[in-house]
Structures are given as structure tokens and as C-alpha cells.
Chain A
Amino acid sequence: MSVDRETVRKVARLARLAVPEERLEPLTAELNGILKWIEQLNEVDVTGVDPMTSTVDMKLPMREDVLQSGPTGGGQPDNVVKNAPKTEDHFFVVPKVVE
């Protein structure tokens, strides 16, 4: 399988990456180079093999469904918005989404 220019444009949109027109052609070639190399995997027999989900044999631990203390806990709105590019009164500010 190889990708064409239009597929690359579509994938870039899905990935929310602005790709300038003149980069589409070289990017298509780069991605096809990588995809062609990856396709060796078709040589491997995987019939009856379960896909890998985890390398460690353990159950996902459960915890009490309560507010945590410390850095993952609540009550720290200043910290939550501290690194945001634009905020107002502990809200993240973005361009208008709904007209």
C-alpha cells in the first residue's frame, strides 16, 4: 500500500497539522519510503495470534473513586491554567467556536 498526495492531505487534517502545499509532495515520498519498509511485516504468519496488549502480566489496579490529594488532586485552578497561552478567570480562552 502506498499513499498519494490527497491521502497525505487528509491524514494531515486528521492529525491537525498544517502542511503547506509545497511540503505535500516530499512528505508523500517520505511516508511511502517508511511504509514500504514497514510492509515486510506481511511476510510474518500471524494466524491465531492474539495482538499484544501489555508486556506485563498484571491486572489494571483499581482505586477508590475519591478525590486524590497531591498533584493529581483538585482545588488548584491556578496550577491548572498556569501554562496556558491565554486564560481569563481560570478559563482557557479559544477563538469563537459557535457563531
Chain B
Amino acid sequence: MMTDITDLTLADLRDALKAKNVSSLEATDAYLDNIDTAKDLNAFVTVTADKARAMAKASDAKLARNEGGPIEGVPLGVKDLFCTEGVQTTAGSRMLEGFVPPYESSVTANLWRDGAVMLGKLNMDEFAMGSSNETSYFGPVINPWRAKGGNAKLTPGGSSGGSSASVAAHLCAAATATDTGGSIRQPASLTATVGVKPTYGRCSRWGIVAFASSLDQAGPIARDARDAAIMLRSMAGHDPKDSTSVNRPVPDYEKAIGASVKGLKIGVPKEYRLDGMPAEIEKLWAQGIAWMREAGCEIVDISLPLTKYALPVYYIVAPAEASSNLARYDGVRYGHRAREFPDIHSMYANSRAEGFGKEVQRRIMIGTYVLSAGYYDAYYLRAQKVRKRIFDEFNNAFKKVDLILTPSSPSAAFALGEKSADPVQMYLNDVFTVTANLAGLPGASVPAGLDAKGLPLGLQLIARPFDEETMFKGMFALEQAANFKARPERWWG
């Protein structure tokens, strides 16, 4: 009846499963085949084929009785930052190699409750610290997209590079991801996938390996806006085990798909026009503005003058929180322990030096320094005050507009090794995304076009807190106007 099950969107697969036109086991086997022949992409750290087939069979039994959850039988990939009961969870780090959680993260538990099938655990930058996937202990993920006529290996973005690459290459119907400074939206932009970072507090952080707790949020990477809406509905929800999880009902986000955007006010912040930004990105942004205007939106010029300070704030706040969160890795209760040490102090220090990669150590050092006696006020306290001003600036902007439209990332996919020598150059990848994390706002990236080299570029929408529905409306409108159909040409396997 169909050529390839794995080319169905999540929504179409869900409907085909419910109609019994296809079984979950067929879909799961088809995805496992794709994974098997895509080892070149290095997208998975762990493939859970047996578990996937067992879950698929259980789903098929439910579907046969016309039972099952909203995404019953749909095969998904899980970023290796989500703890999965009985399945190794590494956070992309040597520190957690072999760590098998005896519990399940709340977000993944929600997905299994709703019927999803787990294909395996997706590669990522170590402890979600990176924008190119090059900090993973398990080697970088390779972007399925290549420049026209070139064969250089490109980054799928980071830190959720395994999620973005596997969704782009159809190795799963959709994937979970997390975003602390742009780790969902930047990889989505670089792979022509849709990435949604919801409002802080919308998804439970319980069971997700912590990086920077005041910024971390889980969200989906999917093939289109509708699929992302279906995923978020299942992932989100109140959880008493996370005290920052917000207790308010989860709307059926899919209902927002296709709803009219007529009359919505779209803010365009002039400070997102950067010096040295590729002309193609500026052009695409202008195109996006025109698309929203044609769809009946009102375009409003806005100003967010503190934008340029967002990344420096982030590189104080996030390392500070990371240095506290990662203090737990002491080689005692779980994680890597060094073999050689003369005393307990060296046991801690050697275990951590061996277990953590260079970028993670760098950020722990920055965080420890900015929190240390004598520097706390100058760095950390000042950063939290600037963060408050950025938060206020967005609140004021949202008195005038319903959504903010910006580019998602300052460049298309770049070659592995191209930016890894200079940490600050790498950090600049998140220049358009990090503001939403600092202010706790929902943000999403939607594929909008290709650059001259044939590489995808995304546009970002930012919405008011807990107004993901308006964001999905806007995302779908952008998607309809962009009519983006390009797929990476298969070179792997």
C-alpha cells in the first residue's frame, strides 16, 4: 500500500496505525533497518531493538482492540540526556558510560504512557554543552545534509545533534531533545527539521541529566509543526517531582495547526540584524516577514536593545549552575572512578578529569570561578540582574506583539572542526536562541529555505509564556508559505 513507512509524518503514521493499515512492528522494523544502514551518521549511542520490538508488539495488541494512547505504536528516538529505566544513559559523556538508571524520566514516561515505542538513545554534545556535537565522548553526529557538490562532513548542530540528524534522515518518526541555550532550535535549523522549546516549566525536568537548571527545558524535534505539536502534548504536563514544573492543563496543541493567523501582531527586533550576518539569512528573514504579512499578520518593528548581552549573561549563569549540578559526579555513587589515586581528594579530582571532556571542564572552571568568594557579585549577581532586565524587555515587547520572528541561527551547517578551536566563536551559534531561555519563553525553529550551497536555514518564532498555541499557529503559517520540501540526498550507508 505504501512505498516506505518511514517517509510518513508522525501524524500520518499515527492515523495509519489507528486504521490498521500498518502495524507498529512493521514501522518499528522499518526504522530499525534505517538505523542499521545509517551508522555513518553516528546518531545513536544505544539502539534498543529488542525493547522496541517488544513495545511495538504490545502496541499492536492494543491497536487491534481499538485501544491505545494518542501516539500508540509510533517509534521515537530519545536524546541520551533522558534517563530511561534499564537502558544506558550517558549524557554523551565518558563520566556516565555504562550508567543504567533504575528509573524513567517523567517526559519519556509520558511518551510511553501515550503509546510511543523507543528505538534507542541519541548522541549529543557532552552534558548538552556544545553547538556542533563535537564534544560528545562517542564522536560527533554527522549531518545528513551536505553542501551541493561537496562531501565535507557537516555538523547537525548541538547539543541535540543526534535528535536533529535522526529526524532529518528518517531514523525515527520524531525525537525528544532539550534546550538550555538553543540546543533544540539551532540543530533543527541546521537539518531542516522543526524544533520546539516550550515555556520553562511546561515539561518536567525530573530524570533529565541536569545542565543548567534555571534554563533547561525538554521539547521535540520533528518533521513538521503538526508532528511537533503532537509530541509536545504528550511530553508536557505537571509533575510533582519537579518543583519548577507548572500545574496548568496541557492544551491539544494540534488544534492550533491550521488556525488563522490573521490579525496577529508579529514583532521584528532590529537588534537581531547582526554585523557580518550572511546576506542569505537576512534575505530569508525578510522573506519570512513578507510571508506573515501575506497571511494577514501585522508586522511591528520592535527594539530589544539588550540582545547583545544575552550570550555573556548565559556564559555566566549556565556554567555557574553547571558547576553546582556536576559536583555530584564524584566517582562515589555513580559514574566514572579513576583507577589510580593516592587519597580521596585525588580520587575525586582524577575521576572528574578523566570522566569529563575539555568543554565540560572549561565550563565547570568558569562556573566555579564566577561563584567563588570575591567574584560572585561582579559576575554572577550582575549577570542575574542583566538577565532580569532582558526578561523585562521581552515582557514589554509582548505588550505590543503576539509573536517575535527572527532567524534561528547565524549560519547554516558548518564543517566539523571549523569552529571548535575558539570557544567564543562556537558560543555565538546561540546568539538568536539564548534570549528565550534567559526569559523562560517558548521558541521554535521552522525550516524556511536553502542557502546557495543547498543547506537548510530556519526561522524562529518566540511567544509569550505558555502561549505555545499561538506559536504553533505561526509555525504552521510559516511552513505553509515556505512550502519546504527538500530532503538530504542519501550518501550514507
**A interface residues (Cβ-Cβ under 8 A, vs B):** 1, 3, 7-8, 11-19, 27, 30-31, 33-35, 37-44, 46, 49-56, 58, 60-61, 63, 71-72, 76, 79, 81-86, 92, 94-97
Contact = CB atoms under 8 A, between A and B. Distances in A.
24 contacts: A16-B327, A16-B345, A16-B348, A18-B352, A33-B422, A33-B423, A34-B362, A34-B423, A34-B424, A37-B315, A38-B316, A41-B316, A41-B383, A49-B385, A51-B384, A52-B391, A55-B439, A56-B200, A56-B246, A58-B201, A71-B104, A85-B332, A85-B334, A95-B347
A71 B101 CA distance: 11
Interface string B31-74: 00000000000000000000000000000000000000000000
Nearest to B342: A95
A72 B388 contact: no
A56 B440 contact: yes
Nearest to B422: A33
B313 interface: yes
B365 A38 contact: no
Interface stretch (B142-150, B290-298, B304-312, B478-486): B304-312
Contact of B343 (A14, A40, A58, A95): A95
B352 A34 contact: no
B361 interface: yes
Contacts of A41: 309, 312-313, 316, 382-383, 386
Given A18-B352, A52-B391, A79 B369 contact: no
B362 to A, nearest CB: 6
Contacts of A27: 362, 365
A17 B365 contact: yes
Given A30-B362, A52-B385, A82-B102, A11 B331 contact: no
A56 B201 contact: yes
Contact of A86 (B240, B337, B424, B465): B337
A75 to B, nearest CB: 13
B378 to A, nearest CB: 7
A92 B309 contact: no
B362 A92 contact: no
B37 to A, nearest CB: 33
Interface residues of B, number: 74
A58 B243 CA distance: 10
B240 A17 contact: no
A51 B388 contact: yes
Contact of B465 (A1, A52, A56, A63): A56
A31 B332 contact: no
Given A15-B323, A50-B388, A52-B388, 7 more contacts: A1-B375, A16-B345, A16-B349, A27-B365, A35-B369, A41-B383, A56-B244
B83 to A, nearest CB: 10
Contacts of B331: 85
B468 interface: no
B368 interface: yes
Contacts of A31: 362, 365-366, 369
B382 A46 contact: yes
A11 B362 contact: no
A29 B93 CA distance: 25
Contacts of B378: 1
Contact of B365 (A15, A55, A60, A94): A15
Nearest to A81: B333
Nearest to A71: B103
Contacts of A54: 214, 244
Given A11-B368, A44-B389, A51-B385, A38 B379 contact: yes
A2 B378 CA distance: 13
B379 A44 contact: no
